[in-house]
Structure 1
Amino acid sequence: MPLTVQDTIEFDIFQNSKLIAGTNGLQREVTGIMVMEAPDIEHWGKSGEIILTSFFALRDFSDAQTKEFFAKVYKIGIAAIIVKMERLVQLIPDNFIEECNKYNIPLIKIPKKTKYEEIITKVMETLINKNKILLDYYYDINQQYTKMALDEPKPKDIIDYLHKMIGMHVSLSKNLQPAFCSTDPTLDDFQVIRTTTLPKKKYTSYEYIQRLVSYTCIEKEAPQSQLVVEVPSLGTDSYQLIIHCFNSRMSAENFMVLENTVNFLQMELIKNYALEQLHLNHINELINDLILGRYHSDDEMLEILDYLRFNESDLFTIVTLDIDDHLKVSEGKWKESTTIALEFSKCINKFWKKYVSLIKKGKIIFIIANDDDELTFKEQITSGVRSLAGRSLFANQPKNISISSKVNCRDLPVANRQANNILKLLRKGGKWNKIVSYHDLGIYRLFLEAGKINELDSFIPDNIRKIEQVNPELNRTLKVFLDHNQNFTATADVLYIHPKTAKYRIERAVEIANIHLNDPEELLLINIGLRVLEFLK
């Protein structure tokens, strides 16, 4: 238990003392004692200190200066003022008493014969003894947790021990979900009314928050208090330890247990995170080997499939998210990419249960076992993306999504190349926020399979380039004209122009580029060139 002002004035040395003001502040915690020699208390005063004084330093203060001084005393958190009347100061001014009552600062008058040294010695001796007891208690709890670590405790074991030591129910929340782990699950349903950050105490190293809450399981009762502390951890998960105080006071001993518990929980969470990362790295290596064909035999490939919980008979589609470049810069951006992967995984899980994912160089790669046809598969991916539209991180991040054709396990490297090539094609065209399947590409698959993605513009014939320089509208008209079997009326209908205008534009394009509309070989090259030009534009 902490030393309070009430405890202090019950010492024998204060037998003939008198409480003048600040009765409501007797439960203030005492952390030290100091003799006031000068009124600049803001430079040397500390929270919890008792001030010994004769008020000689304040004898010439005006009423305004007195108010200012006691406001500082209150702001600093001075526990109490002990005053001894000396030869030069015979009376405590009324405005001093008023200010002490105003701020609930205990003002204690002691006889002239009482020595400062005796008071200081008694207070400091008591504090030292209490501090030693607290430190011994901290050490004992630390030893208990050290022994517990050998048994590899689960989070529930740790909070059960905390509950036993402090006599209050405890919850461990994960990502602001209170029901993760609790000594009494009925207390995990509550509404927060008010939140206050508590000042740090001498032996606390974490930031504590006091919450006033209304519990669903307790009807028609006044709001209850909680003590909440963040448990530092690695990764994207956040943890909070919640003490259901029910307006009970947390003793110094309870804080010792709590500090030890947070330390121990942090170490356990870091250990578990390290093990998860080790496992994840191994999984990532296996997925990478699978999609790049980096295995030495068919048996090794089948072992990888089995480890990833796939079967040899499964058919697979690779879905790759290409995240815009700025996510590749720092560790913070890597965490954002991880968050996007987790969000998208939830959508995939709605439709398919067998899948794995890999974050690699700004891309998020999913291997999905499925029996869907290509159209249905793309529709479900699109539906998943739409369901994430309201989530700011996923919605605001520029990205492309590629979908490979369906392949067997041995052709996964082929599917991986397809998905990557689609993304290269989209980047080449400067396109973002697209969902494109390999089946959608049509004629562009020729370029992908021939490895000519980076040379697309070389497939545009010179005569088409020439038309583009003179009047791009002529190329658009020419493409529609060729797509509609060289029918002027159909071309005019599509472009919302008169058939004579369509005929004029085609004649102009033929004249500029010296096109032979009866030559099938030339028309094939022009058709390809016009499509490449349209894509690049």
Structure 2
Amino acid sequence: MREQSAGHGLIGSELLAMPHLAGAKVLAGSAGLKAAVIRVNVMEVPDVIDWVMPGEFLISTGYPFRDDPNAFVELIPQLVAKGVAALGIKTKRFLDEIPPRVLAVADQYHFPIIELPPGTVFSEVVREVMERVLVEEAAGLALLQRRFQRFSELLLEGKELGELLGYVEEELGNPILLLSSAGKMHVSRQTNQWIQTVGFAQHFSITQLLQTIKSGMPNLIAGDRELRVAVTKIKEQFGAESYLTLLAWHQELKPLDTLTLERVGVLIHLEMMNVNARREVEAKYIDQFLHDWLVGRIGTRRDLDLRSEACGCPINHQGSFHAVIIRWIDTAPNLLQLKRIVQQLRQQESLRSRDLLYSIVEDRLVILVNSESDVLEKELKQRLRVALQEVQFNHSPYAFSFCLGNRVQSATEVSSSYMQAAKVYSISQICGLQQEWISYQELGVYKILYLLPQGKELSQFREEWITPLEVYDWKHQSSLILTLLAYFEQHENVRKTAQQLYTHHNTVIYRLERVKELLGVDLQRSDDRLQLQIALKLHAMEAGMQERTVEAIAGERTPFLVHLD
């Protein structure tokens, strides 16, 4: 079916009411008379298809086809493809009548063919049509300017985004959706009610809407209805995009509606920039406040309350406090991505009570829990995963640990919780711990080993127990060290060790015998087991420190970045 665009001021059916077209008859394609007419062209050459433009009312005497009137059959689909609005033919001079076959094709394509009276003067038709088109376009531009001015005034008055969308909808008579590439939707109050009333969400999820819009499809199928849509793309921060979408639900879309949507898109872009600028300023104040609070630069409760109120982060003194630092185990986000993650986490928190505060301290993501009740681990993990997905940091599997500080009851003691979380962060990184939740109490003997000075005696102890095993593993492509780690992890249970290593239990027994021979130890003796376990932990810590040194050197040469699409 031929695409129609109503309401550009002058439409095909209005041509018939013009004085210089009095007596004209529609011979075929009357269903296409709603197409907009924005110019007139005269066709008196066979290759006119190379010169026509969308929205034209094409008029002709039929001279090029006087010897073969049926040639119109091939021309009509081409005119439709070019967007020509209608074809007017003055008969009785070169063509006595339009062949029925031509009229049938025109009906098929909903392409209007109008028979012009023999006395039609083409120059007068061109003048009259263009006068009407220009008058209508001038009126449309004036209306467009009035709308733009009104919408600009609304923003200057401090109207929020939802209110602005509501005023635009009143002008255009159809609902508007503002969809972000992050999967969020902003609507006016009336459109939100409309979505609930008509069950629009049952037909489309936000993800489906975004996929349809990004694909460039001009229509949406909602149940048994086909909705025409107009879309304006709006640039956001960090290369993201939003899509201002007008749905033809209550009435057909007009070309002027599309122009209005584009102008509104400019205003919304400016408002988004303004909002983001305010957020960045607010974020800097919040970050500085949280940094000073966590490191203990704010001494009194009164100063804490004054600064927290000024930043919009009131402190709940009825609850407890504890700091949490996120440690990335494999791939880590760069500083720009961390800022985006914090922004997303804060947006999530704005929908709830302010029991979690987020900041970046020393390039680490820090969460300060301030709540009367315990924040569930599952909920905290879910919030972080949602934020990672929002910033598209999910192209490969990621892993992280929550390094927990101790819980304190006074806001002035928060720095002690942060310092303990920082210690857990450092020890767990050096020791290569990969648990999701790590508290200071769970570090076990690592708390003591971490404090040992790196001297000759420590190195000799480590080499005495580990070097023979490393040499054997290298020569024989064996896994003695790995087997020992699994063996102690499984509480010296051979069967469970074999299951963890996906090997036979006799293989585990054989490897343990090699360890005994190489080290001259008896694994049944508690003292030998203790020394061997300490040596293995020191070995893991040394590997962790070497890895950190390599990363630090690489970081000085080339900053580590995780690229986004």
TM-score (norm 2): 0.69
2:325 alignment partner in structure 1: 320
**1:365 aligned counterpart, secondary structure:** strand
2:448 alignment partner in structure 1: 446
Q: Measure how far apart 1:157 and its partner are.
A: 3.8
Change over 3 Å in CA distance of 1:253–1:523 after alignment to 2: closer
- With 353-362 and 171-180 compared, the bigger mean Cα shift is at 171-180
1:3 alignment partner in structure 2: 10
Change over 3 Å in CA distance of 1:260–1:126 after alignment to 2: same
2:273 alignment partner in structure 1: 270
Change over 3 Å in CA distance of 1:94–1:415 after alignment to 2: same
Give the RMSD, CA atoms, in angstroms: 5.0
Question: Aligned ranges for residues 291-370 of structure 1 at < 5 Å?
Answer: 291-293=294-296, 300=303, 303-305=306-308, 307=311, 308-310=313-315, 315-323=320-328, 328=333, 337=341, 341=345, 354-358=355-359, 363-370=364-371
**1:461 aligned counterpart, secondary structure:** helix
Structure 1: how far apart are the matches of 2:12 and 2:490? 96
2:563 alignment partner in structure 1: none
Asked if 1:57 corresponds to 2:56, the answer is no
* Structure 2 residue identity aligned to 1:464: I
Q: Measure how far apart 1:280 and its partner are.
A: 2.1
Change over 3 Å in CA distance of 1:515–1:115 after alignment to 2: same
Change over 3 Å in CA distance of 1:360–1:253 after alignment to 2: same
* Structure 1 residue identity aligned to 2:76: F
1:286 alignment partner in structure 2: 289
* Structure 2 residue identity aligned to 1:364: L
**1:286 aligned counterpart, secondary structure:** helix
* Structure 2 residue identity aligned to 1:404: L
Asked if 1:143 corresponds to 2:149, the answer is yes
Structure 1: stretches of 5+ with no match in the other structure: 198-206, 215-221
1:120 alignment partner in structure 2: 126
* Structure 2 residue identity aligned to 1:182: R
Change over 3 Å in CA distance of 1:24–1:241 after alignment to 2: closer
Asked if 1:460 corresponds to 2:462, the answer is yes
Structure 2: how far apart are the matches of 1:491 and 1:155? 63
1:203 alignment partner in structure 2: none
Q: Measure how far apart 1:106 and its partner are.
A: 1.4
The correspondence for 1:35, drawn from 24, 34, 42, is 42
Q: Measure how far apart 1:4 and its partner are.
A: 0.9
* Structure 2 residue identity aligned to 1:460: R
Change over 3 Å in CA distance of 1:196–1:101 after alignment to 2: farther
Structure 1: how far apart are the matches of 2:73 and 2:447? 83
Change over 3 Å in CA distance of 1:193–1:402 after alignment to 2: closer
Change over 3 Å in CA distance of 1:44–1:20 after alignment to 2: same
Bigger relative contact order, structure 1 or 2 (CA pairs below 8 A, ≥6 apart): 2
**2:127 aligned counterpart, secondary structure:** helix
Contact 1:22–1:101, Cα closer than 8 Å, also in 2: yes
**1:19 aligned counterpart, secondary structure:** strand
1:97 alignment partner in structure 2: 103
Change over 3 Å in CA distance of 1:40–1:410 after alignment to 2: farther
Structure 2: how far apart are the matches of 1:357 and 1:93? 76
Question: Aligned ranges for residues 88-487 of structure 1 at < 5 Å?
Answer: 89=95, 91-166=97-172, 168=173, 170=175, 180-183=187-190, 186-189=193-196, 190-191=199-200, 211=220, 213=222, 229=231, 232=234, 234=236, 240=244, 245-246=249-250, 248-251=251-254, 258-293=261-296, 300=303, 303-305=306-308, 307=311, 308-310=313-315, 315-323=320-328, 328=333, 337=341, 341=345, 354-358=355-359, 363-370=364-371, 380-382=376-378, 384-385=380-381, 393=389, 397-408=397-408, 409-410=411-412, 412-413=414-415, 415-420=417-422, 422-423=424-425, 434-448=436-450, 460-470=462-472
Q: Measure how far apart 1:42 and its partner are.
A: 4.9
Structure 2: how far apart are the matches of 1:493 and 1:433? 24
- With 41-50 and 260-269 compared, the bigger mean Cα shift is at 260-269
Q: Measure how far apart 1:261 and its partner are.
A: 4.2
* Structure 2 residue identity aligned to 1:275: R
TM-score (norm 1): 0.72
Q: Measure how far apart 1:38 and its partner are.
A: 4.0
The correspondence for 1:74, drawn from 73, 80, 90, is 80
Change over 3 Å in CA distance of 1:466–1:74 after alignment to 2: same
Contact 1:163–1:170, Cα closer than 8 Å, also in 2: yes
Q: Measure how far apart 1:131 and its partner are.
A: 1.0
Structure 2: how far apart are the matches of 1:415 and 1:495? 37
The correspondence for 2:30, drawn from 23, 44, 51, is 23
Change over 3 Å in CA distance of 1:477–1:223 after alignment to 2: closer
Q: Measure how far apart 1:152 and its partner are.
A: 1.1
* Structure 1 residue identity aligned to 2:102: F
Q: Measure how far apart 1:480 and its partner are.
A: 9.3
Deviations 1:333-362 (A, max 9, x none): 568745874698699x6xx85220125787
Quote the sequence identity (%).
16
Structure 2: how far apart are the matches of 1:498 and 1:229? 65
